């Protein structure tokens, strides 16, 4: 029977954290594979990125492509699929995708965050038919139309500014008493006559049968809205870790030490999903955690090998 390949490291997630770890892992000659449905991760959804060193005026999608090119140059194997289960097998880990099984000595969790949902009537039913969680991906479908975006932070604020480039009017529906975005975005919003901010307002229902025909809010109905964008933050996804002794904080972020080790031997985490880097959820911090993680895994594997001899 053919022996199964044993990887030194199986990386789950091909965003900035996972990709960065893979590049360093190659340098450390760790036998590594990335399992991810795509490369680039969440930054693919950013309209423009101008705060990652060495790049300015680059679209998120193009930055993601740069990561792909880098991985290809370093010949990092990629399995384009979702990990759906992880099992412990003695000292090793088994990762099951929808069609295959991979065996590794260590696992890196670089799965990023999942968009938060409002959980209101019409949200699920009209997803993709006027309801969206990604301004960058879907703004172009609402040229000359009235749209609304809900949220308080930079993502909602920058989303409103981006939408105003094409749409005829943008309601920025802020559940809080004031926006918590960077002053730069506030200036952009205040000087844009297409954007109307509604503070202390919650959206309670998305209206329409085949497509969005308005939204209900706590301050009344907005029947002219044809596109509704939800930008209320994101939470870590943890479904794969339930069988392991991996500690999380009260918000579900994976606790790691300063070298990216989780509380379970052989499992590491990097990027938006962890408690590190002051939870400053950026490409720069994800890339940094991924790089550190690779060095930690290299050292730990070496130590384990020494202890066995
Ligand atoms: C609209 C928007 C704009 C942004 N703009 C900027 C910006 O200008 N500058 C900046 O620095 N940051 C920006 N960010 C933040 C940045 O995108 C994130 O901080 C960064 O992508 C986090 O990297 P990560 O690798 O931790 O996670 P992610 O990039 O989220 O990557 C997670 C990866 O895991 C994969 N995955 C998920 N589930 C599974 C599974 N079951 N099995 C295998 N793989 C899986 C995903 O497909 C993805 O590839 C922005 C974010 C958003 C939403």
Q: What is the pLDDT of residues 254-302, one digit of tens each?
A: 999 999 999 999 999 999 999 999 888 899 999 999 999 999 999 999 9
Q: Compute the distance from residue 249 Cα to the ligand 1 centre, in Å.
A: 20
Q: How far does residue 283's CA lie from ligand 1's centre (Å)?
A: 8
Per DSSP, the chain holds a count of helices (H) and strands (E) of: 6, 19
Residue to probe by mutation, ligand 1, list 34, 39, 46, most atoms within 8 Å of CB: 46
Nearest CA to ligand 1 atom 4: 46
User: Mutate which of 283, 291, 292 to test ligand 1's pocket (most atoms within 8 Å of Cβ)?
Assistant: 283
| Residue 150 pLDDT > 90 | yes
Of the pLDDT bands very low, low, confident and very high (cuts 50, 70, 90), residue 2 is: low
Q: Which ranges in the chain are annotated with CATH 3.50.50.60?
A: 6-114+234-308, 117-230
Cα–ligand 1 centroid distance for 37 (angstroms):
12
Helix H or strand E encompassing 48: strand 48-49
- Cβ–ligand 1 contact at 10 (below 6 Å): no
Pocket lining: 37 vs ligand 1, CB cutoff 6 Å: yes
Which CATH class, in words, describes the domain spanning 6-114+234-308?
alpha beta
Q: How far is the CA of 114 from the centre of ligand 1 (A)?
A: 9
List the alpha helices (DSSP H) in the chain.
16-27, 60-73, 135-138, 154-164, 183-190, 283-308
Of the options 3.50.50.60, 3.30.450.70, 3.40.50.720, 3.40.1190.20, the CATH number for the domain spanning 117-230: 3.50.50.60
How does DSSP assign 221-290, residue by residue? EETT--EEEE---EEE--GGGTTS---B-TTSPBP--TTSB-SSTTEEE-STTBS-GGG--SHHHHHHHH
Q: What is the average per-residue pLDDT within 169-191?
A: 95
CA of residue 118 to ligand 1 center, whole Å: 20
pTM value is: 0.85
Question: Is 43:63 a contact under the CB 8 Å cutoff?
Answer: yes
Atom from ligand 1 closest to the CA of residue 48: 8
């Amino acid at each position: 029977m053919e022996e199964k390949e044993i990887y030194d490291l199986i990386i789950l997630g091909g965003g900035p954290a996972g990709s960065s770890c893979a590049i360093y892992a190659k340098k450390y000659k760790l036998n590594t594979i990335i399992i991810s449905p795509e490369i680039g991760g969440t930054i693919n959804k950013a309209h423009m990125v101008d705060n990652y060193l060495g790049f300015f005026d680059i679209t998120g999608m193009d930055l993601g492509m740069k990561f792909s090119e880098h991985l290809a140059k370093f010949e990092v194997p990629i399995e384009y699929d979702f990990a759906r289960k992880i099992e412990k097998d003695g000292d090793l880990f088994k990762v099951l995708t929808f069609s295959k099984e991979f065996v590794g000595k260590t696992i890196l969790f670089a799965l990023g965050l999942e968009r938060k949902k409002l959980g209101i009537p019409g949200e699920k039913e009209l997803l993709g038919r006027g309801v969206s969680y990604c301004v960058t991906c879907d703004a172009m479908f609402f040229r000359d139309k009235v749209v609304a975006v809900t949220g308080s932070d930079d993502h909602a604020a920058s989303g409103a500014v981006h939408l105003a480039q094409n749409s005829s009017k943008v309601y920025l529906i802020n559940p809080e008493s004031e926006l918590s975005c960077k002053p730069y975005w506030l200036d952009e919003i205040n000087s844009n006559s297409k954007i109307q901010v509604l503070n202390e307002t919650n959206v309670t229902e998305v209206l329409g049968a085949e497509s969005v025909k308005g939204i209900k809010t706590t301050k009344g109905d907005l029947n002219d809205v044809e596109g509704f964008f939800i930008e209320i933050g994101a939470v870590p996804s943890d479904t794969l870790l339930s069988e392991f002794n991996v500690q999380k904080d009260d918000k579900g972020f994976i606790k790691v030490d300063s070298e990216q080790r989780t509380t379970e031997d052989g499992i590491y985490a990097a990027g938006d999903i962890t408690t590190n880097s002051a939870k400053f959820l950026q490409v720069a911090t994800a890339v940094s955690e991924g790089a550190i993680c690779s060095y930690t895994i290299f050292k730990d594997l070496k130590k384990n090998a020494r202890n066995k001899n």
